[in-house]
Amino acid sequence: MTPLRQRMIEDMRLRNFAPRTVQVYVERVATFAKHYGKSPERLGPAEIRAYLLFLVREKRASWSYYNQALCALRFLYRVTLGKNWALEGIPCPKGEKKLPVVLSPDEVVQFFEAISHLKHRAILMTAYAAGLRVSEVVALRVDDIDSRRMVIRVRQAKGRKDRYVMLSSRLLEILRGYWKAARPTGYLFPGNDPDKPLTTRAVHQACQDARQAAGLGKHVTVHTLRHSFATHLLEAGTSIRVIQVLLGHRNLKTTAIYTHVSAATLEATQSPLDRLGRPAGERVRP
């Protein structure tokens, strides 16, 4: 490990960055350095600008990737290297706003029916039943399941915050059946090494296998289950502020996206055209 990389990692740890954020920032800076074959210490504003243009024009990187690269370089130059001028004049792009994919309740049932592996069914059902991110569900420990209070403790989630979410009575039955068969002691869903959790990659693969087995045409990810959880709660009449707390969103605007994907909300809203009187001569076919 180079001294610069070590110093950047230390700077991020001093600021209590999440381990995943540290990993991503290091990867993005390493890719930037590899692109030029030089240490970032020897590169400046012109190279940064050219690299970001390369990501947009040639690599056609996603908004998420581009934003990660920009944030990582901003941290490196402004904090670790102390060169505030390095990113002056480089604008922050306006991100794309896309509506999330949401499964209908029937599609959720179809999805879970296609999962034969007990552990995979338990972890994906937990993700949906509690609206958890994939990183949150793999990090669950056995003692996070509080059957007396009927809650699940989510430790140090995004934003380095703990929160509680509801424990479905049906999910509790599923988890008890899984625990009797697997007998986990530390992590609720351990990997091959019982002292380490199942990897997020393994969970994503289990999700894709289930989607294919279920024959669903929609693009389904673990995060799709979280989107579906929030949308189904909203359609059932749950307050959007309650949903915000359950999802662990800092800003209500982030949660408000689900008001745009709720079918029940759309169906209950009458078009202004339907409230107008019919103009003379308008023909209405049966």
Q: Which domain CATH number covers 259? A: 1.10.443.10
How high is the pLDDT of residue 88?
76
Which residue in the list 119, 120, 121, 133 is annotated as catalytic?
A: 133
State yes or no: is 223 an active-site residue: yes
Residues 157 and 245 in one domain: yes
Residues 168 and 257 in one domain: yes
Q: Which residue has the tokens 């210490």?
A: 41
Which residue in the list 28, 226, 227, 232 is annotated as catalytic?
A: 226
Can you give the CATH number for the domain in which 60 is found? Answer: 1.10.150.130
Residues 158 and 193 in one domain: yes
How high is the pLDDT of residue 22?
92
How high is the pLDDT of residue 278?
63
Residues 155 and 259 in one domain: yes
Output 10-15 pairs: Cβ under 8 A, ≥24 positions apart.
11/75, 11/79, 11/80, 12/75
Which residue in the list 5, 83, 141, 249 is annotated as catalytic?
A: 249
User: How many whole angstroms separate alpha carbon 284 and alpha carbon 256?
Assistant: 38
State yes or no: is 133 an active-site residue: yes
Residues 55 and 19 in one domain: yes
User: How many whole angstroms separate alpha carbon 76 and alpha carbon 221?
Assistant: 32
Which residue in the list 158, 164, 204, 218 is annotated as catalytic?
A: 158
Q: What total of structural domains would you count in the chain?
A: 2
Question: Which residue, of 27, 59, 87, is where some domain finishes?
Answer: 87
Residues 189 and 55 in one domain: no
Which residue in the list 25, 51, 66, 258 is annotated as catalytic?
A: 258
Please check whether residue 27 lies inside any domain of the structure: yes
Residues 121 and 235 in one domain: yes
State yes or no: is 226 an active-site residue: yes
Please check whether residue 202 lies inside any domain of the structure: yes
**How do strand 145-146 and strand 161-166 relate by DSSP bridges?**
unpaired
The burial class, CB within 10 Å (0-12 / 13-18 / 19+), for 140 is: buried
Residues 110 and 172 in one domain: yes
Sheet holding 151-157, edge to edge: 145-146, 151-157, 161-166
Domain that holds residue 233: 105-267
Residues 216 and 184 in one domain: yes
State yes or no: is 83 an active-site residue: no
Which tokens sit at 222?
A: 């673990």
Q: Could you read off the pLDDT tens digit of each residue along the chain, which spans 286 residues?
A: 899 999 999 999 999 888 889 999 999 999 999 999 999 999 989 999 999 999 989 998 888 899 899 999 999 999 999 988 877 777 676 666 777 889 999 999 999 999 999 999 999 999 999 999 999 999 999 999 999 999 999 987 776 788 899 999 999 999 999 999 999 999 999 999 989 999 999 999 999 999 999 999 999 999 999 999 988 988 888 888 888 888 888 777 777 777 666 666 656 655 565 566 566 566 655 5
Please check whether residue 48 lies inside any domain of the structure: yes
